[in-house]
Amino acid sequence: MEIDAAIEIPDSRTTVLRGHESEVFICAWNPKNDILASGSGDSTARIWNMNEMASSANKAANQLVLRHCIQMGDAEVPSNKDVTSLDWNCDGTLLATGSYDGYARIWSTEGKLFTTLGQHKGPIFALKWNKKGNYILSAGVDKTTIIWDAQTGQSKQQFAFHTAPALDVDWKSSTEFASCSTDMFIHVCELGKERPVKTFEGHSHEVNAIKWDPQGQLLASCSDDMSLRIWKMDSTRCVHNLLAHDKEIYTIKWSPTGPGTSNPNLDLYLASASFDTTVRLWDVEKGACVHTLTKHSEPVYSVGFSPDGKYLASGSFDKCVHIWSVQSGKLVQSYRGTGGIFEVCWNQRGDKVAASASDGSVYVLDLRGSKST
């Protein structure tokens, strides 16, 4: 599908970051600065300082390479495993990474390795800091989730309630979290408790992603069963079973809007990204799809709302990043890269979108002064 020249983001407002030697699965902006982290199949994460790049022609000079190594005898050797998850702590001082080598690691913004967290037996699929910044939560192929003490690097508690690989985790509070799995179950667990405080069941295929809404009241889940479900702690049955996609739903995101957010007067939405090539925007209160975004031509792997909640970015294996107006559902900006897009994310000011790609590229799109409704 050709991109309309009127909405295409020009090369003059695009920075292509090269350095990774394999596909780049994930990227995440530092919450305080224009520093971008990326994780790749080349067994490295990288930290890119976009503040410095504005005044530098040499894009490679401003990347820190975080090599993921394992101990073999007396030597440290590259793990040769994918880095597939990363997350900044809330004040932007530390980066956590999760790798298929079974280790989570904590790094400084200068790329120094602080701590290695080793207790999973096999690949780590998801990794999240809590809001306080004292604990890290991880999910693994070994069917377990672990809460780690970020200060000591020690496991606080390992939860072994799933009967198949744990695919995603999300904090509800600083000590409570939800986890989902290929076993089709969702467990809500709490530090110090030996059993889940709640178990949600209803999906008929693996559950790919879960996300609490901004207030921690509603839990959204998406699955290979093509459904999107909304759950509440005071009910065992789902509040909504949203059926509209006709292929697997890969991921979901809540808008940073509504009560308890910095955009309290805007309605709360949920976005879903599917292998059916569409993105859908949902009014969860009504249980209704308000927009179906149909300009992609391949599976959509990632969606992300702008910090003000007015725009949604989507990334697909059609190599395109699209920016949509949440209110109108219209496509307002587009960029076509050179590889399939695994991840899109907004910086804290909402004027840049980063995207990571299957050909080893990371794109930074400067949206200043260019969005409309």
Instruction: State yes or no: pLDDT of 76 exceeds 90.
Output: no
How confident is the model over 221-239, as a mean pLDDT? 95
The percent of residues in the chain predicted with pLDDT above 90, rounded, is 87
What integer pLDDT is reported at residue 56 of this predicted model? 45
Looking at every residue in the chain, the average pLDDT score rounds to 93
Closest residue by Cα to residue 250 from 212, 302, 289: 302
What integer pLDDT is reported at residue 53 of this predicted model? 63
The percent of residues in the chain predicted with pLDDT above 70, rounded, is 95
What integer pLDDT is reported at residue 351 of this predicted model? 96
Q: Is-contact 143 165, C-beta < 8 A?
A: yes
What integer pLDDT is reported at residue 52 of this predicted model? 67
Rounded Cα distance between 2 and 277, Å, is: 16
What integer pLDDT is reported at residue 80 of this predicted model? 78
Q: What is the pLDDT of residues 78-105, one digit of tens each?
A: 777 899 999 999 999 999 999 999 999 9
What integer pLDDT is reported at residue 150 of this predicted model? 95
Q: Output phi, psi for 188, to 5 deg.
A: -105, 125
Whole-prediction pTM value?
0.94
How confident is the model over 335-359, as a mean pLDDT? 97
Rounded Cα distance between 143 and 54, Å, is: 44
Structure tokens at 364: 């930074």
Rounded Cα distance between 246 and 256, Å, is: 27
Q: Output phi, psi for 238, to 5 deg.
A: -70, 145
Q: What is the pLDDT of residues 239-280, one digit of tens each?
A: 999 998 999 999 999 999 999 899 999 999 999 999 999 999
Q: Which residues pair with 117 in a beta bridge?
A: 104
Q: What is the pLDDT of residues 196-214, one digit of tens each?
A: 999 999 999 999 999 999 9
Nearest-5° Cα angle at 175, 171 to 177: 35
